[in-house]
Structure 1
Amino acid sequence: MTSITPARPSLTSNDAAVLQALFDAESSPSSGITVDASLPSWPAKVNISQADLTTLKQREAEIVRKLQTNETPSRENIKSALDEFDSLLNQYPTYPSAYTNRAQALRLLVDIQYNETPSQNNPHVSEATADDALFSPEAASLSSRILADLGQAITLATPASPADPMSSVQARLLADAHTHRGYLLLKAARVKKDQAGQESGEAVGPERLRGLSANQLEEMASHDFFLGGRYGNKVAQQLAVQTNPYAKMCGAIVKEAMRKEFEG
Protein backbone atom coordinates (compact mmCIF):
# COMPACT_ATOMS: atom_id res chain seq x y z
CA MET A 1 0.00 0.00 0.00
CA THR A 2 1.34 3.39 -0.97
CA SER A 3 1.75 5.78 1.93
CA ILE A 4 1.00 9.41 1.50
CA THR A 5 3.12 11.92 3.38
CA PRO A 6 2.15 15.55 3.81
CA ALA A 7 3.87 17.85 1.37
CA ARG A 8 6.22 20.39 2.85
CA PRO A 9 5.07 23.99 2.43
CA SER A 10 6.65 25.68 -0.56
CA LEU A 11 7.73 29.27 -0.97
CA THR A 12 5.39 31.69 -2.64
CA SER A 13 6.77 33.59 -5.62
CA ASN A 14 6.94 36.72 -3.44
CA ASP A 15 8.89 34.90 -0.69
CA ALA A 16 11.28 33.53 -3.28
CA ALA A 17 11.84 37.01 -4.71
CA VAL A 18 12.57 38.42 -1.26
CA LEU A 19 15.10 35.68 -0.46
CA GLN A 20 16.69 36.13 -3.88
CA ALA A 21 17.10 39.85 -3.22
CA LEU A 22 18.60 39.16 0.20
CA PHE A 23 21.17 36.59 -0.83
CA ASP A 24 21.96 37.35 -4.47
CA ALA A 25 24.12 40.46 -4.87
CA GLU A 26 23.22 40.69 -8.54
CA SER A 27 19.45 40.47 -8.10
CA SER A 28 18.50 44.02 -7.16
CA PRO A 29 21.06 46.62 -6.06
CA SER A 30 22.17 47.68 -9.53
CA SER A 31 18.65 47.62 -10.97
CA GLY A 32 16.23 50.49 -10.86
CA ILE A 33 18.39 53.31 -12.24
CA THR A 34 18.44 54.67 -15.75
CA VAL A 35 21.67 56.09 -17.14
CA ASP A 36 21.11 58.50 -20.00
CA ALA A 37 24.23 59.51 -21.93
CA SER A 38 22.48 62.58 -23.34
CA LEU A 39 21.97 64.17 -19.91
CA PRO A 40 24.27 66.85 -18.45
CA SER A 41 26.89 65.55 -16.02
CA TRP A 42 25.11 66.93 -12.94
CA PRO A 43 21.48 67.59 -11.97
CA ALA A 44 20.01 71.09 -12.22
CA LYS A 45 20.49 71.83 -8.50
CA VAL A 46 24.28 71.90 -9.05
CA ASN A 47 23.64 75.02 -11.13
CA ILE A 48 27.05 75.39 -12.80
CA SER A 49 27.33 76.36 -16.46
CA GLN A 50 28.92 73.97 -18.94
CA ALA A 51 31.76 76.42 -19.57
CA ASP A 52 32.52 76.64 -15.85
CA LEU A 53 32.28 72.86 -15.51
CA THR A 54 34.94 72.43 -18.20
CA THR A 55 37.27 74.78 -16.32
CA LEU A 56 36.49 73.12 -12.99
CA LYS A 57 37.30 69.66 -14.34
CA GLN A 58 40.67 70.93 -15.55
CA ARG A 59 41.46 72.57 -12.19
CA GLU A 60 40.37 69.46 -10.34
CA ALA A 61 42.49 67.18 -12.53
CA GLU A 62 45.55 69.35 -11.92
CA ILE A 63 45.06 69.12 -8.14
CA VAL A 64 44.57 65.35 -8.24
CA ARG A 65 47.69 64.85 -10.39
CA LYS A 66 49.81 66.33 -7.61
CA LEU A 67 48.69 63.46 -5.39
CA GLN A 68 49.04 60.69 -7.98
CA THR A 69 52.76 60.01 -7.67
CA ASN A 70 54.70 56.74 -7.65
CA GLU A 71 55.48 57.34 -3.99
CA THR A 72 53.28 58.41 -1.11
CA PRO A 73 52.69 62.17 -1.46
CA SER A 74 54.30 64.35 1.19
CA ARG A 75 52.36 66.08 3.93
CA GLU A 76 53.14 69.41 2.21
CA ASN A 77 51.71 68.22 -1.12
CA ILE A 78 48.56 66.91 0.52
CA LYS A 79 48.00 70.12 2.45
CA SER A 80 48.62 72.14 -0.71
CA ALA A 81 46.02 70.04 -2.55
CA LEU A 82 43.55 70.50 0.30
CA ASP A 83 44.05 74.26 0.19
CA GLU A 84 43.33 74.23 -3.54
CA PHE A 85 40.20 72.12 -3.07
CA ASP A 86 39.07 74.55 -0.36
CA SER A 87 39.56 77.47 -2.74
CA LEU A 88 37.72 75.70 -5.56
CA LEU A 89 34.77 74.81 -3.33
CA ASN A 90 34.59 78.30 -1.88
CA GLN A 91 34.01 79.51 -5.43
CA TYR A 92 31.77 76.62 -6.51
CA PRO A 93 30.20 75.08 -3.37
CA THR A 94 27.80 72.90 -5.38
CA TYR A 95 30.44 71.01 -7.39
CA PRO A 96 30.00 67.39 -6.19
CA SER A 97 33.19 65.82 -7.57
CA ALA A 98 35.53 68.13 -5.63
CA TYR A 99 33.99 66.99 -2.36
CA THR A 100 34.77 63.32 -3.04
CA ASN A 101 38.33 64.14 -4.09
CA ARG A 102 38.87 66.33 -1.03
CA ALA A 103 37.66 63.42 1.11
CA GLN A 104 40.29 61.22 -0.55
CA ALA A 105 43.00 63.82 0.12
CA LEU A 106 41.94 63.95 3.78
CA ARG A 107 42.27 60.15 3.95
CA LEU A 108 45.82 60.51 2.65
CA LEU A 109 46.57 63.06 5.37
CA VAL A 110 45.38 60.59 8.03
CA ASP A 111 47.63 57.92 6.50
CA ILE A 112 50.61 60.27 6.68
CA GLN A 113 49.95 61.08 10.33
CA TYR A 114 49.56 57.38 11.14
CA ASN A 115 52.83 56.44 9.43
CA GLU A 116 54.67 59.16 11.31
CA THR A 117 53.32 58.22 14.78
CA PRO A 118 51.60 54.80 14.65
CA SER A 119 51.89 54.00 18.35
CA GLN A 120 50.19 57.22 19.36
CA ASN A 121 47.30 56.80 16.96
CA ASN A 122 46.20 53.41 18.21
CA PRO A 123 47.65 52.43 21.59
CA HIS A 124 45.09 49.67 22.16
CA VAL A 125 45.51 47.62 18.97
CA SER A 126 48.77 45.76 18.54
CA GLU A 127 48.49 45.46 14.75
CA ALA A 128 46.81 48.74 13.94
CA THR A 129 46.23 49.99 10.43
CA ALA A 130 45.85 53.48 9.02
CA ASP A 131 42.10 52.86 8.88
CA ASP A 132 42.10 52.23 12.64
CA ALA A 133 43.90 55.55 13.06
CA LEU A 134 41.03 57.26 11.23
CA PHE A 135 38.83 56.54 14.24
CA SER A 136 41.33 57.47 16.93
CA PRO A 137 40.64 60.55 19.09
CA GLU A 138 43.51 62.37 17.34
CA ALA A 139 41.86 62.02 13.93
CA ALA A 140 38.29 62.83 14.99
CA SER A 141 38.31 66.22 13.26
CA LEU A 142 39.64 64.80 9.98
CA SER A 143 37.22 61.86 9.96
CA SER A 144 34.34 64.29 10.59
CA ARG A 145 35.43 66.32 7.57
CA ILE A 146 35.69 63.20 5.40
CA LEU A 147 32.17 62.07 6.27
CA ALA A 148 30.85 65.61 5.79
CA ASP A 149 32.41 65.86 2.32
CA LEU A 150 31.05 62.48 1.23
CA GLY A 151 27.62 63.39 2.56
CA GLN A 152 27.63 66.71 0.71
CA ALA A 153 28.69 65.06 -2.56
CA ILE A 154 25.89 62.51 -2.20
CA THR A 155 23.32 65.21 -1.43
CA LEU A 156 24.30 67.27 -4.47
CA ALA A 157 24.46 64.34 -6.91
CA THR A 158 21.40 62.37 -5.80
CA PRO A 159 18.43 62.84 -8.15
CA ALA A 160 15.19 64.32 -6.82
CA SER A 161 13.43 60.99 -7.39
CA PRO A 162 14.94 57.48 -7.44
CA ALA A 163 13.18 56.96 -10.78
CA ASP A 164 14.85 59.97 -12.43
CA PRO A 165 17.44 59.12 -15.11
CA MET A 166 21.01 60.26 -14.50
CA SER A 167 24.29 60.72 -16.31
CA SER A 168 27.07 58.15 -16.14
CA VAL A 169 29.24 60.72 -14.29
CA GLN A 170 26.52 61.20 -11.69
CA ALA A 171 25.98 57.44 -11.23
CA ARG A 172 29.72 56.78 -10.90
CA LEU A 173 30.15 59.46 -8.23
CA LEU A 174 27.19 58.17 -6.23
CA ALA A 175 28.49 54.60 -6.49
CA ASP A 176 31.95 55.62 -5.24
CA ALA A 177 30.77 58.04 -2.53
CA HIS A 178 28.23 55.63 -1.02
CA THR A 179 30.77 52.80 -1.11
CA HIS A 180 33.47 54.97 0.50
CA ARG A 181 31.12 56.12 3.27
CA GLY A 182 29.82 52.59 3.78
CA TYR A 183 33.36 51.31 4.23
CA LEU A 184 34.12 54.01 6.82
CA LEU A 185 30.93 53.25 8.73
CA LEU A 186 31.68 49.53 8.66
CA LYS A 187 35.21 50.20 9.89
CA ALA A 188 33.83 52.39 12.68
CA ALA A 189 31.52 49.54 13.70
CA ARG A 190 34.42 47.06 13.81
CA VAL A 191 36.62 49.44 15.81
CA LYS A 192 33.78 50.06 18.26
CA LYS A 193 33.32 46.30 18.70
CA ASP A 194 37.06 45.85 19.27
CA GLN A 195 37.08 48.55 21.93
CA ALA A 196 33.85 47.45 23.62
CA GLY A 197 35.66 45.61 26.40
CA GLN A 198 38.24 48.30 27.05
CA GLU A 199 38.06 50.94 29.73
CA SER A 200 40.07 53.64 28.00
CA GLY A 201 37.22 56.13 28.07
CA GLU A 202 38.15 57.26 24.53
CA ALA A 203 35.34 57.77 22.06
CA VAL A 204 35.50 56.21 18.60
CA GLY A 205 35.60 58.42 15.56
CA PRO A 206 33.82 61.68 14.83
CA GLU A 207 31.30 63.09 17.26
CA ARG A 208 28.32 62.35 15.00
CA LEU A 209 29.00 58.60 15.30
CA ARG A 210 29.84 58.35 18.99
CA GLY A 211 26.32 57.83 20.25
CA LEU A 212 25.65 54.97 17.85
CA SER A 213 26.12 51.30 18.63
CA ALA A 214 28.25 48.99 16.51
CA ASN A 215 25.08 47.36 15.15
CA GLN A 216 23.60 50.73 14.18
CA LEU A 217 26.80 51.69 12.38
CA GLU A 218 26.82 48.37 10.53
CA GLU A 219 23.21 48.86 9.42
CA MET A 220 24.07 52.34 8.14
CA ALA A 221 27.03 50.84 6.28
CA SER A 222 24.77 48.19 4.77
CA HIS A 223 22.40 50.87 3.49
CA ASP A 224 25.27 52.77 1.88
CA PHE A 225 26.61 49.57 0.32
CA PHE A 226 23.16 48.83 -1.07
CA LEU A 227 23.03 52.27 -2.70
CA GLY A 228 26.64 52.00 -3.89
CA GLY A 229 25.72 48.69 -5.53
CA ARG A 230 22.53 50.14 -6.94
CA TYR A 231 24.56 52.81 -8.71
CA GLY A 232 26.95 50.20 -10.12
CA ASN A 233 29.80 49.42 -7.69
CA LYS A 234 30.28 45.62 -7.77
CA VAL A 235 32.19 45.49 -4.47
CA ALA A 236 29.38 47.37 -2.76
CA GLN A 237 26.85 44.86 -4.10
CA GLN A 238 28.68 42.03 -2.34
CA LEU A 239 29.18 43.99 0.88
CA ALA A 240 25.51 44.97 0.93
CA VAL A 241 24.57 41.30 1.15
CA GLN A 242 27.23 40.48 3.76
CA THR A 243 26.18 43.34 6.06
CA ASN A 244 22.40 43.15 5.51
CA PRO A 245 20.95 42.35 8.97
CA TYR A 246 17.96 40.55 7.44
CA ALA A 247 20.18 38.44 5.22
CA LYS A 248 22.32 37.51 8.22
CA MET A 249 19.20 36.65 10.23
CA CYS A 250 17.81 34.50 7.42
CA GLY A 251 21.21 32.88 7.00
CA ALA A 252 21.28 31.95 10.68
CA ILE A 253 17.78 30.45 10.40
CA VAL A 254 18.77 28.44 7.33
CA LYS A 255 21.95 27.17 9.04
CA GLU A 256 19.98 26.10 12.10
CA ALA A 257 17.38 24.32 9.93
CA MET A 258 20.15 22.50 8.03
CA ARG A 259 21.83 21.52 11.30
CA LYS A 260 18.57 20.02 12.61
CA GLU A 261 18.01 18.30 9.27
CA PHE A 262 21.44 16.62 9.44
CA GLU A 263 20.98 15.69 13.10
CA GLY A 264 17.50 14.33 12.46
Structure 2
Amino acid sequence: MTSHDKEILNQIFNPGLPYGDEVDSDSGDNIPQADDSEAVEQAKAFEIQGVREAESGNVDAALGFFQKAVDSAPQWPSAYNNRAQALRLKGDVPGARADLDRAIELSHGRGTAACQAYTQRGLIKKKEGDDGGAKEDLEKAASLGGAFAKQMLVALNPYAALCNQMLTGVLDKLRAGDGQV
Protein backbone atom coordinates (compact mmCIF):
# COMPACT_ATOMS: atom_id res chain seq x y z
CA MET A 1 0.00 0.00 0.00
CA THR A 2 1.44 3.35 -0.99
CA SER A 3 1.65 6.27 1.42
CA HIS A 4 -0.93 8.07 -0.74
CA ASP A 5 -3.32 5.12 -0.33
CA LYS A 6 -2.80 5.23 3.44
CA GLU A 7 -3.45 8.98 3.55
CA ILE A 8 -6.64 8.62 1.50
CA LEU A 9 -7.85 5.79 3.72
CA ASN A 10 -7.05 7.83 6.81
CA GLN A 11 -9.11 10.75 5.47
CA ILE A 12 -12.05 8.52 4.64
CA PHE A 13 -12.10 6.75 7.98
CA ASN A 14 -11.01 9.77 10.03
CA PRO A 15 -12.22 12.98 8.40
CA GLY A 16 -11.26 14.97 11.50
CA LEU A 17 -7.61 13.94 11.31
CA PRO A 18 -5.12 16.09 9.43
CA TYR A 19 -4.19 14.86 5.95
CA GLY A 20 -0.72 13.30 5.85
CA ASP A 21 -0.15 12.94 9.62
CA GLU A 22 3.52 12.01 9.79
CA VAL A 23 4.99 9.15 11.77
CA ASP A 24 8.63 8.32 12.36
CA SER A 25 9.64 6.59 9.13
CA ASP A 26 12.65 4.85 10.63
CA SER A 27 10.75 3.17 13.44
CA GLY A 28 9.77 0.13 11.40
CA ASP A 29 6.50 0.44 9.50
CA ASN A 30 5.47 -3.05 10.42
CA ILE A 31 7.29 -6.00 11.81
CA PRO A 32 8.58 -8.00 8.83
CA GLN A 33 7.58 -11.60 8.41
CA ALA A 34 10.46 -13.40 6.78
CA ASP A 35 8.56 -16.64 6.36
CA ASP A 36 5.31 -15.02 5.22
CA SER A 37 6.54 -12.47 2.70
CA GLU A 38 4.24 -13.80 -0.05
CA ALA A 39 1.29 -13.73 2.35
CA VAL A 40 2.14 -10.17 3.38
CA GLU A 41 2.32 -9.09 -0.27
CA GLN A 42 -1.09 -10.64 -0.84
CA ALA A 43 -2.42 -8.86 2.26
CA LYS A 44 -1.07 -5.55 0.95
CA ALA A 45 -2.88 -6.14 -2.35
CA PHE A 46 -6.14 -6.77 -0.47
CA GLU A 47 -5.53 -3.61 1.57
CA ILE A 48 -5.16 -1.58 -1.63
CA GLN A 49 -8.44 -2.99 -2.91
CA GLY A 50 -10.02 -2.15 0.44
CA VAL A 51 -8.74 1.41 0.22
CA ARG A 52 -10.24 1.74 -3.26
CA GLU A 53 -13.59 0.50 -2.01
CA ALA A 54 -13.42 2.87 0.96
CA GLU A 55 -12.61 5.74 -1.41
CA SER A 56 -15.80 4.85 -3.28
CA GLY A 57 -17.77 4.93 -0.04
CA ASN A 58 -18.36 1.17 0.01
CA VAL A 59 -17.38 0.33 3.58
CA ASP A 60 -18.88 -3.17 3.42
CA ALA A 61 -16.72 -4.12 0.44
CA ALA A 62 -13.69 -2.45 2.06
CA LEU A 63 -14.30 -4.48 5.20
CA GLY A 64 -14.38 -7.63 3.09
CA PHE A 65 -11.00 -6.87 1.55
CA PHE A 66 -9.50 -5.99 4.93
CA GLN A 67 -10.82 -9.29 6.26
CA LYS A 68 -9.10 -11.07 3.38
CA ALA A 69 -5.89 -9.20 4.27
CA VAL A 70 -6.14 -10.44 7.86
CA ASP A 71 -6.87 -13.98 6.67
CA SER A 72 -3.91 -13.88 4.25
CA ALA A 73 -1.36 -12.63 6.77
CA PRO A 74 -2.68 -12.94 10.33
CA GLN A 75 0.60 -11.60 11.74
CA TRP A 76 0.50 -8.38 9.63
CA PRO A 77 -0.47 -5.44 11.91
CA SER A 78 -1.54 -3.08 9.12
CA ALA A 79 -4.41 -5.37 8.14
CA TYR A 80 -5.83 -5.17 11.66
CA ASN A 81 -5.57 -1.37 11.70
CA ASN A 82 -7.47 -1.11 8.43
CA ARG A 83 -10.11 -3.60 9.47
CA ALA A 84 -10.51 -1.79 12.80
CA GLN A 85 -11.26 1.47 11.02
CA ALA A 86 -13.90 -0.19 8.86
CA LEU A 87 -15.40 -1.96 11.87
CA ARG A 88 -15.59 1.34 13.75
CA LEU A 89 -17.44 2.91 10.83
CA LYS A 90 -19.89 0.01 10.91
CA GLY A 91 -20.50 0.65 14.62
CA ASP A 92 -18.57 -2.38 15.89
CA VAL A 93 -16.44 -0.52 18.43
CA PRO A 94 -15.58 -3.65 20.48
CA GLY A 95 -14.40 -5.38 17.30
CA ALA A 96 -12.39 -2.31 16.34
CA ARG A 97 -10.75 -2.18 19.77
CA ALA A 98 -9.84 -5.86 19.58
CA ASP A 99 -8.20 -5.31 16.18
CA LEU A 100 -6.31 -2.26 17.44
CA ASP A 101 -5.08 -4.25 20.44
CA ARG A 102 -3.92 -6.98 18.05
CA ALA A 103 -2.14 -4.47 15.78
CA ILE A 104 -0.27 -3.08 18.79
CA GLU A 105 0.65 -6.58 19.94
CA LEU A 106 1.87 -7.66 16.50
CA SER A 107 3.85 -4.46 15.91
CA HIS A 108 5.46 -4.76 19.35
CA GLY A 109 4.34 -1.18 19.97
CA ARG A 110 6.68 0.18 17.28
CA GLY A 111 6.35 1.86 13.92
CA THR A 112 3.52 3.25 11.88
CA ALA A 113 1.13 0.40 12.64
CA ALA A 114 1.48 0.93 16.39
CA CYS A 115 1.26 4.70 16.08
CA GLN A 116 -1.97 4.46 14.09
CA ALA A 117 -3.43 1.84 16.42
CA TYR A 118 -2.60 3.82 19.56
CA THR A 119 -4.09 6.96 18.01
CA GLN A 120 -7.29 5.22 16.96
CA ARG A 121 -7.64 3.42 20.27
CA GLY A 122 -7.00 6.68 22.13
CA LEU A 123 -9.77 8.39 20.17
CA ILE A 124 -12.16 5.54 20.96
CA LYS A 125 -11.26 5.75 24.65
CA LYS A 126 -11.79 9.52 24.60
CA LYS A 127 -15.20 9.09 23.00
CA GLU A 128 -16.08 6.52 25.70
CA GLY A 129 -15.11 8.99 28.45
CA ASP A 130 -11.85 7.26 29.44
CA ASP A 131 -9.66 10.37 29.37
CA GLY A 132 -6.83 8.69 31.29
CA GLY A 133 -6.70 5.76 28.89
CA ALA A 134 -6.97 8.11 25.92
CA LYS A 135 -4.08 10.19 27.21
CA GLU A 136 -1.93 7.10 27.75
CA ASP A 137 -2.53 5.82 24.19
CA LEU A 138 -2.06 9.24 22.62
CA GLU A 139 1.21 9.71 24.52
CA LYS A 140 2.45 6.42 23.07
CA ALA A 141 1.39 7.48 19.57
CA ALA A 142 3.02 10.88 20.03
CA SER A 143 6.26 9.22 21.13
CA LEU A 144 6.19 7.32 17.82
CA GLY A 145 5.90 10.61 15.93
CA GLY A 146 2.14 10.98 15.50
CA ALA A 147 1.49 14.70 14.96
CA PHE A 148 -2.26 14.34 15.42
CA ALA A 149 -1.72 12.48 18.70
CA LYS A 150 0.42 15.39 19.88
CA GLN A 151 -2.37 17.84 18.99
CA MET A 152 -4.92 15.72 20.85
CA LEU A 153 -2.72 15.64 23.95
CA VAL A 154 -2.68 19.42 24.01
CA ALA A 155 -6.46 19.44 23.66
CA LEU A 156 -6.79 17.01 26.60
CA ASN A 157 -4.76 19.36 28.82
CA PRO A 158 -7.32 21.50 30.71
CA TYR A 159 -4.84 24.39 31.06
CA ALA A 160 -4.10 24.37 27.35
CA ALA A 161 -7.83 24.28 26.61
CA LEU A 162 -8.42 27.27 28.91
CA CYS A 163 -5.55 29.20 27.30
CA ASN A 164 -6.89 28.41 23.83
CA GLN A 165 -10.36 29.54 24.86
CA MET A 166 -9.03 32.81 26.28
CA LEU A 167 -6.86 33.44 23.23
CA THR A 168 -9.79 32.78 20.90
CA GLY A 169 -11.87 35.31 22.83
CA VAL A 170 -9.15 37.95 22.56
CA LEU A 171 -8.71 37.34 18.83
CA ASP A 172 -12.48 37.44 18.26
CA LYS A 173 -12.67 40.83 19.99
CA LEU A 174 -9.77 42.16 17.95
CA ARG A 175 -11.38 40.95 14.70
CA ALA A 176 -14.65 42.60 15.69
CA GLY A 177 -12.80 45.89 16.11
CA ASP A 178 -13.25 46.01 19.85
CA GLY A 179 -10.11 47.73 21.12
CA GLN A 180 -10.89 46.56 24.67
CA VAL A 181 -9.21 43.24 25.28
Which category describes the TM-score, using the shorter chain as reference length?
A: 0.5 to 0.7
Measure the CA separation in 2 of the matches of 1:236 and 1:175: 9
Gap runs ≥5 in structure 1:
1-32, 111-141, 160-169, 190-216, 252-264
Query: For 2:68, what is the secondary structure of its paired residue?
Result: helix
Whether the aligned pair in 2 keeps the contact of 1:185 and 1:221 (CA below 8 Å) is yes
Written as runs of structure 1 = structure 2, the 5 A alignment for 1:223-238 is: 223-238=136-151
Q: Partner of 2:97 in structure 1?
A: 147
- Tell me if structure 2 keeps the 8 A contact 1:222–1:240: yes
Give the TM-score normalised by structure 1. 0.46
Distance 2:146 2:100 in 1: 16
- Counterpart residue number, 1:19: none
Deviations 1:31-69 (A, max 9, x none): xx8926xx6x5336x565333322321221112211112
Relative distance call for 1:104 and 1:48 in structure 2 (3 A) is: farther
For the 8 Å contact 1:179–1:225, the answer to whether it is kept is yes
Which among 21, 35, 41 is matched to residue 26 of structure 2? 35
Residues 56, 231 of structure 1: alpha-carbon distance in 2 compared, 3 angstrom cutoff = same
Task: Specify the alignment match of 2:134 in structure 1.
Answer: 221
Shift >4 Å, 4+ stretches: none
Task: Report the Cα distance in structure 1 between the residues aligned to 2:50 and 2:152, rounded to whole angstroms.
Answer: 31
Distance 2:71 2:42 in 1: 15
Q: 1:59 to 1:79 in 2, by over 3 A?
A: same
Aligned to 1:199: none
Closer, same or farther in 2 for the Cα pair 1:242/1:155, shift >3 Å?
Answer: same
Normalising by structure 2, report the TM-score. 0.64
Matching of residue 99 in structure 1 with residue 66 in structure 2: no
CA contact (8 A) 1:223 1:240 kept: no
**SS of structure 1 residue aligned to 2:145:** coil
RMSD value, Cα? 2.7
| 1:188 counterpart (128, 139, 143) | 128
Aligned length: 137
Q: Rg: which structure is higher?
A: 1
Question: Residue by residue, what CA displacement relative to the aligned partner does 1:226-247 show, whole Å, maximum 9, x if unpaired?
Answer: 0110011112123234436xx8
Contact 2:42 2:72 in 1 (8 A): no
Give SS of 2:128's match: helix
Partners of 2:34 and 2:105 in 1: how far apart?
14
Q: Matched residues in 1 for 2:103 and 2:42: separation?
A: 19
Q: Quick one: higher RCO (CA 8 Å, sep 6+), 1 or 2?
A: 1
State the AA in 2 paired with 1:179.
Answer: T
Structure having the larger proportion of residues in helix: 2
2:30 and 2:111 in contact (8 A); partners too: no
- Residue identity (%): 28
Aligned position for 1:54: 41
Task: Identify the residue that residue 89 of structure 2 maps to in structure 1.
Answer: 108
Distance in 2, Cα, partners of 1:222 & 1:48: 36
Q: Deviations over 1:207-237 (max 9, x none)?
A: xxxxxxxxxx111100001011001111212
Query: 2:25, 2:76 → 1: CA distance?
Result: 22
Gaps of 5+ in 2: 1-23, 163-181
